[in-house]
Amino acid sequence: MLAKRPFFITFLAPAVLTAVILAAAIFEVLQYSVREFIPGSLNVGGFTLANFAALNKPIYWWVLADTFFISLLTAIFSLLASYPVAYALVRAKRDWVRSALVSLSITPLFTGEIVRTFSWMLTLGTDGFINSILRKLGLIDMPIQLMYTRFGVVVALVQFSMPVMIILLATAIAHVDRDCEKAAANLGASPTAVFWRITLPLTVPGILSGIVVVFAWTMSAFSTPQLIGGGKILMISNLAYLQGFSVLNLPFAATLSLIALVCALGSLALMKGVTSRIERRLAVH
Amino acid sequence: MRSFAFWSLVVALLTYMTLPTIVVLMTSVNPTEILAFPPQGVSFDWYAKAVSYPDFQLAFKNGLIVTACASTLALIVGSAFAWLIHHYEFRGRGLLEGVLWSPLIIPHFTLGFGFLLLGGAFRLQQGYVMIVLAHMVLVMPFVTRAVHVSLANIDPALARAAANLGASPWQVLTRITLPLVVPGMAGGWLIAAVLSLTEFTASLYVTGSRTQTLPVAMYNYIREYADPTVSAISALLIIATTLIMLVADRTIGLRRVLAIDTH
């Protein structure tokens, strides 16, 4: 049997080892989340469910609700801002326009979250770019508060999520059968009608996966709420970090990290369900 | 008219996407200490300050060590894994794939925290071993995907023809398959390197003051000082990553790795 499957063990072993290490790391989080917190010590006590019970406080519910709210806003605005770009990227007639659009929309993905967050701090700050421009134009006397607000956090998060949203939407738009559009146009539909009644409905699966991927991704955002929210806007990631590194309550930090993981997995599972249902419905028609 | 309105909207949205980058590049060459607009001239003082700042020097060196080790390990293990799932069906394959793709979904702070605790259990906390392992796990899905796409594009008849002509499995692998997937491996490795070099959240958990990587050092600097030194570092990182991605695009075609097919 081994002779029939050359390199099987050799190639399998490193992958399995990596998977075991990864699973062990996640298991540690799981294990700490059910341990007793000993104040003033980094060691943990026996097994307990007290950390999960401690979650049931208004402040933690607020943080969780705010995390959901910010992620939902980000997903919706990211969709609205990305669709025209994705559409242009797929349908542009000239090659160089397409290449330019791909480069412009994809490169921000690779500069890293600290560079992007810091750039937004410079843009949104009291002496930042937007306030300076508005003041030069005489539109405002006092700087507007953009940093440390939910608005500022969402503005930055939408920009971060756009490359991923654009990739998913562009793939969906590229798969739209152009003959359907042509048929509708030949039958007298205006370009606007073709877009709203043919193109857009055919890209619904892409739209849904875009929304859920961005939603799940934003729920685990850390540096943007940390730096642009500046402690005034707390998402679950910031609370977990605060508990782990300031309060030094490792078990509770582990509980919060685990909740974040469950939320991310849950929204993706939800997406699978919804997308397959929609696709089935589209297939029927 | 309608198409003019549409393209204006697209340009406005692209401006929104690129505005922060333009702002950071502008402040990096602005001679004044306060972050003033418009710039008061052109100077490279912040670049000089940034590259001579000891914390950034150490962090850059740490980052290079971590990135080189993590992306190369991810390349070896990820390529082997891609070859495995391309060729074989076996029991537990779904589970193994699920675990190895999961870093795309797991929040980086959960993963970083897990590696911090794991490091603590083995007395390796804040050491290079744990940082490299965390980065490797995070970037491996991208290598696996790039190599998997390359493998899928190879004509299976080539390997069969070689085998029929008497080539051993080892010869097929090294003389037929490997040369054909080298572009995929190179592209995946470059993406992995860029992602590892700029990774922040998990690194914040697993590094210590002696082992911190560049993004962590930048974060610590931003929290204490408000001057354009970090703008200069950011500008250098933006330029470096853009160049690397251009190279990756030329060698393999980024669009294929990211699965954007516009046709």
- Rounded Cα distance between A18 and A16, Å, is 5
**Contact call for A122 and B118, based on CB within 8 A:** no
- A224 found inside a domain: yes
- Interchain contact B234–A (C-beta under 8 A): yes
User: How many domains does chain A fold into?
Assistant: 1
Q: What is the DSSP letter of B262?
A: -
- pTM value is 0.91
Nearest CA in chain B to A223: B201
pLDDT at A284: 58
Q: In this structure, what are the phi and psi dihedrals at residue A233, rounded to the nearest 5 degrees? A: -110, 115
Q: Is B260 or A167 the better-scoring residue by pLDDT? A: A167
CA angle B121, B123, B124 (to 5 degrees): 105
Which of B110, B126, B201, B238 has the most A C-beta neighbours within 10 Å, making it the best mutation to test the interface with A? B110
- Interchain contact B104–A (C-beta under 8 A): no
Q: At residue A226, what is the residue type?
A: Q
CA separation, residue A257 to residues A171, A271, B24, B113 (Å): 32, 21, 32, 8
State the residue range of the domain holding B234. 56-257
- B19 found inside a domain: no
Q: At residue B122, what is the residue type?
A: F
**The complex's ipTM?**
0.91
User: The tokens 């980058």 sit on which residue?
Assistant: B21
- A205 found inside a domain: yes
- Residue B89 CA to chain centroid, in angstroms? 30
Point out the least confidently predicted range of A185-199, A211-225, B31-45.
Answer: B31-45
- A12 found inside a domain: no
- A3 found inside a domain: no
- A255 found inside a domain: yes
> Residue A81 in contact with residue B15, Cβ under 8 Å?
no
- B1 found inside a domain: no
By Cβ distance, the residue of A22, A102, A159 closest to B137 is A22
Q: Is A136 or B263 the better-scoring residue by pLDDT? A: A136
- B155 found inside a domain: yes
Contacts of A234 (CB under 8 A, 6+ apart): A63, A66, A225, A242
pLDDT at B35: 63
- A222 found inside a domain: yes
Query: B217: domain CATH number?
Result: 1.10.3720.10
What digits encode the pLDDT tens for the residues A43-87?
Answer: 888 898 988 998 999 999 999 999 999 999 999 999 999 999 999
- A54 found inside a domain: no
Shortest Cα distance, chain B CAs vs residue A29, angstroms = 5
Q: Is the pLDDT of residue A1 over 70?
A: no
- B231 found inside a domain: yes
- A18 found inside a domain: no
- Residue A192 CA to chain centroid, in angstroms? 31
> Residue A89 in contact with residue A75, Cβ under 8 Å?
no
> Residue A240 in contact with residue A257, Cβ under 8 Å?
yes
- B146 found inside a domain: yes
Q: Could you tell me how many residues make up chain A?
A: 285
- B89 found inside a domain: yes
> Residue B221 in contact with residue B55, Cβ under 8 Å?
yes
What digits encode the pLDDT tens for the residues B82-126?
Answer: 999 999 999 999 999 999 999 998 999 999 999 999 999 998 888
- Interchain contact B243–A (C-beta under 8 A): no
Contacts of A154 (CB under 8 A, 6+ apart): A70, A73, A74, A77
State the residue range of the domain holding A268. 27-43+59-284
The pair of structure tokens assigned to A45 is 């006590």
Q: Is B35 or A201 the better-scoring residue by pLDDT? A: A201
Query: A134: domain CATH number?
Result: 1.10.3720.10
- B86 found inside a domain: yes
Task: Return mean pLDDT, chain A.
Answer: 90
Residues of B in contact with A88 (CB under 8 A): 6-7, 10
As a whole-number percent, the residues of chain A with pLDDT over 90 amount to 60
**Contact call for B96 and A16, based on CB within 8 A:** yes
Low-confidence ranges of chain B (pLDDT < 50): 261-263
- B38 found inside a domain: no
pLDDT at A102: 86
User: How many domains does chain B fold into?
Assistant: 1
The pair of structure tokens assigned to B45 is 């003082």
- Interchain contact A86–B (C-beta under 8 A): no
